[in-house]
């Protein structure tokens, strides 16, 4: 099941991992998991950044928001959300009680630098210092950050629409401060684009009213630690080595504002570089007449691109751009979760263990989200959906 595809498309991304023996073991585990899933009505949703075996196993592959929407619409009794914990939590908050949602390991293992790097106390203080200030929070954030966004009458955004959401927030609240979080690289690029959008519509903007969250916290730098490493130098080297390739850049990358400036100044020719969300990269690769692409994002997406479009060439700007949190998912853990019914995300009511919203209860069986947090978080997501 795995050997042909993994040895053909994944060898440079995961050197030595997909031996024949390893692939046979993965195939046996996949068979058992598919049988268990058939028996209890489970489906597997996997993020592009997981290892190739999950791409092969999954009923649906996607980015975090696409998978959450799929979970909401498919109404399966049980969903295994194979990504990082906050993504499964988002799916649970928008699906409510219609589906049971499980993840293969705890939120500590399936973490995210954007979640661990968010200083909630700082945000609470920002709200006190900026009465009426509005938060625009990227969907890649924890439930409590999403709830704080709702308390500020703010909005959730995705990497596809953050510019439009910022523009909407500024246009409808002209003299209020807008705080964009938790990814500073995405924030910088999207602020620039939002100002361009507004100015195109004749709306003059005071850039100081749009603040980008940039607080180092817990050893992280207000960004995705994987995309942070895709900096200016790695892009320049890759472009020099592959001058004929089209460039696809995720806006979370450390190089994104530099590349945007290069495009605006004409140093990168028009039509050569594109700033795209994960799903948009797939769509662009399908639609583009180009045959060769440089891809600046987590290396897991390269496998998805290569398997979907085997006649095109996809070169990672860095083959080492792997997210250790995403790679914390393994077949062994998923199998255990399936066999033992463990690690379910639940929405709890008046739970005495969840009085502190910063530390809701979790153990190796359940991960709680207090209902009041889930409801507020969902409100800020729903608000985004009314705009774009």
Q: Which residues bind ligand SF4 (CB under 6 A)?
A: 49, 84, 112-114, 140, 224-226, 298, 323, 325-326
CB nearer ligand SF4, residue 245 or residue 323: 323
Q: Measured from the CB of residue 64, what is the shortest distance to ligand SF4 in angstroms?
A: 8
Contact indicator for 178, 206 with CB cutoff of 8 Å: no
Cβ(180)–Cβ(166) below 8 Å: yes
In the complex, least distance from residue 219 CB atom to ligand SF4, rounded to whole angstroms: 13
Helix (H, G, I), strand (E, B), or coil: what is residue 184? helix
Closest by alpha carbon to 181, among 132, 145, 129, 209? Answer: 145
Distance (Å, whole) CA 365 – CA 46: 21
Q: How far is the CB of 224 from ligand SF4 (least distance, A)?
A: 3
User: Which CB sits closer to ligand SF4, 46 or 197?
Assistant: 46
- Residue 299 vs 377, nearer CB to ligand SF4: 299
CB of 209 to ligand SF4, least distance (A): 27
Nearest to ligand SF4 of 107, 133 (CB atom): 107
Going by C-alpha positions, the residue among 340, 288, 338 that lies closest to residue 32 is: 338
Q: In angstroms, give the least distance from the CB of 220 to ligand SF4.
A: 9
**HEC states along 119-150?**
CHHHHHHHHHHCCCCEEEEECCCCHHHHHHHH
Which of 299, 285, 362, 320 has its CA nearest to residue 88? Answer: 362
Q: Which is nearer to ligand SF4, 123 or 226 (CB)?
A: 226
Shortest distance, position 226 Cβ to ligand SF4, whole Å? 4
Nearer to ligand SF4 (CB atom), residue 43 or residue 112: 112
Residue with Cβ nearer ligand SF4 (225 or 314): 225
Least distance in Å: CB of 115 to ligand SF4?
A: 7
Helix axes 256-264, 184-200, angle to 10 degrees: 30
Cα angle 117-336-98, degrees, rounded to a multiple of 5: 70
DSSP-assigned letters across all residues of 225-262: HHHHTS-HHHHHHHHHH-TTSEEEE-TTSTTHHHHHHH
């Amino acid at each position: 099941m795995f050997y042909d595809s993994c040895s053909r498309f994944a060898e440079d991304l995961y050197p030595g991992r997909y031996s024949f023996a390893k692939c046979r073991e993965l195939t046996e585990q996949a068979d058992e998991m598919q049988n268990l899933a058939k028996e209890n009505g489970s489906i597997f949703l996997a993020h592009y950044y997981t290892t190739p075996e999950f791409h092969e196993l999954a009923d649906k592959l996607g980015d975090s928001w696409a998978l959450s929407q799929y979970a909401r619409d498919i109404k399966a009794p049980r969903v295994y959300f194979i990504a990082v914990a906050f993504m499964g939590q988002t799916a649970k908050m928008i699906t409510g009680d219609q589906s049971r949602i499980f993840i293969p390991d705890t939120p500590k293992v399936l973490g995210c630098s954007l979640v661990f790097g968010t200083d909630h106390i700082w945000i609470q203080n920002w709200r006190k210092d900026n009465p009426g200030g509005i938060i625009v929070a990227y969907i890649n954030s924890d439930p409590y950050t999403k709830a704080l966004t709702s308390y500020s009458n703010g909005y959730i955004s995705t990497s596809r629409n953050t510019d439009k959401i910022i523009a909407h927030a500024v246009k409808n609240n002209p003299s209020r401060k807008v705080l964009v979080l938790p990814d500073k690289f995405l924030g910088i690029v999207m602020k620039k684009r939002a100002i361009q959008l507004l100015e195109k519509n004749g709306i003059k903007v005071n850039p100081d009213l749009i603040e980008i969250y940039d607080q180092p916290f817990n050893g992280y730098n207000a960004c995705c630690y994987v995309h942070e490493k895709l900096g200016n130098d790695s892009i320049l080297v890759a472009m020099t080595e592959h001058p004929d390739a089209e460039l696809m850049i995720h806006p979370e990358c450390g190089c994104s504002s530099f590349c945007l400036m290069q495009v605006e100044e004409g140093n990168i020719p028009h039509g050569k570089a594109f700033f795209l969300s994960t799903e948009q990269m797939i769509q662009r690769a399908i639609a583009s007449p180009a045959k060769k692409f440089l891809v600046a994002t987590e290396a897991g997406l390269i496998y998805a691109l290569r398997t979907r479009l085997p006649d095109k060439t996809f070169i990672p700007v860095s083959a080492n751009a792997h997210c250790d949190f995403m790679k914390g998912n393994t077949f062994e853990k998923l199998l255990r979760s399936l066999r033992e019914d463990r690690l379910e995300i639940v929405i709890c009511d008046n739970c005495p263990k969840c009085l502190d919203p910063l530390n809701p209860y979790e153990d190796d069986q359940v991960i709680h989200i207090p209902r009041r947090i889930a409801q507020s978080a969902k409100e800020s997501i729903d608000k985004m959906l009314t705009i774009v």
